[in-house]
Amino acid sequence: MESRKELFDELNLEVQRAGTLTVLHTNAVASHIGLSATEFEAMDIISRNQPMTAGKLADYCGLTTGAITGLVDRLERAKFVRRQRDEADRRRVFIIPVENKARSKKIRELYRPMSDWFVEFFDKYSDKEICLLLSMQKEANEMTIRSIRTLREKRR
């Protein structure tokens, strides 16, 4: 039987591998709809965090406002987003996702194999075990957010 340290080390490597594979999967999906992985992830952030300004998006992505301007320009040209002035403060501009049912369907289809595999994978677990896995994933996501913040603060 492996020691606790060996188990931890192996789990740590698998978590790192999962991160790499997630990036590669994102690249593969993004390329099918004509976006870079960064643009695709930015779209996810924009869609999940409305209202979204360029400054807020820059903070989320850890990019400069100049880099975000270029990214939003590309997304706008490709009709993924539009800019909308804030009615209360005309200096402020929101980045609004553009609804495109055909594109949304294509993205769902690209994720369908992974989704089907997840259903098959989780089907062997009880509801209680799935709740535990869900709790663990949420905690892992929060740890990742903390790590991102720490890394960004060190860079400043």
Give the CATH number for residue 69: 1.10.10.10
> β-pairing, 93-97 with 81-85?
antiparallel
Alpha helices for 54-126 (secondary structure H): 54-61, 65-77, 101-122
SS3 labels along 71-91: HHHHHHHCCCEEEEECCCCCC
Is 119 among the domain residues? Answer: yes
Q: What is the pLDDT of residue 43?
A: 96
The count of domains in the chain is 1
pLDDT band at 155 (very low <50, low <70, confident <90, very high): confident
Whether 35 is in a domain gets the answer: yes
130 lies in some domain:
no
Predicted pLDDT of residue 10? 95
144 part of a folded domain:
no
pLDDT in the model for residue 2: 85
Range of the domain at 42: 4-124
Q: Is 147 part of any domain?
A: no
pTM for the predicted model, two decimal places: 0.85
Confidence of residue 90 (pLDDT cuts 50, 70, 90): confident
Question: Is residue 70 in some structural domain?
Answer: yes
